[in-house]
Amino acid sequence: MRTKQKFSPQYIDTLAECITGGSGFSSAPPIGIYRTGYEIVKFFRSLGYDINSLEGSRVPFTQDLLNQINHEENGFEQIVRITQRLLDPRDYVGREDKLENVVNHLNKY
């Protein structure tokens, strides 16, 4: 029996941090683009996920959703697709340094 491939919890948490931009209460600058709750919903809807609103805080919501996706039958492929969407250079026009930061940060995990 073949074990389905999954991303590590560390990668999932890092991906969530890069999607959300991190905690709004942190004094550290966001790794990538700081996204509001609405922008996070819009991000996932652009990938076909049926999400109408964000429940709770941005970072835990995103971590929980990514963990749920990661454990689905085709979760590995979905996380790859989410990562590719996160790295779309069109979202970083005029902020190319943010894209480079996200790539470098994800590559650590």
Unique residue bearing structure tokens 């996706």: 69
In a domain, 4, yes or no: no
Tokens of residue 76, six digits:
């590995």
Q: Is residue 1 part of a domain?
A: no
Residue-wise pLDDT tens digits, 3-43:
578 999 999 999 999 999 987 677 777 888 999 999 999 99
On the CB side of 86, CA atoms within 13 Å amount to 29
The domain in which residue 88 lies consists of 9-107
For residue 3, tell me if it sits in a domain.
no
The amino acid at residue 31 is: I
Is the model's pLDDT at 1 over the cut of 70?
A: no
Domain count, the chain: 1
What does the alpha-carbon distance between residue 58 and residue 36 come to, in Å, rounded to a whole number?
Answer: 7
d(CA 75, CA 17): 19
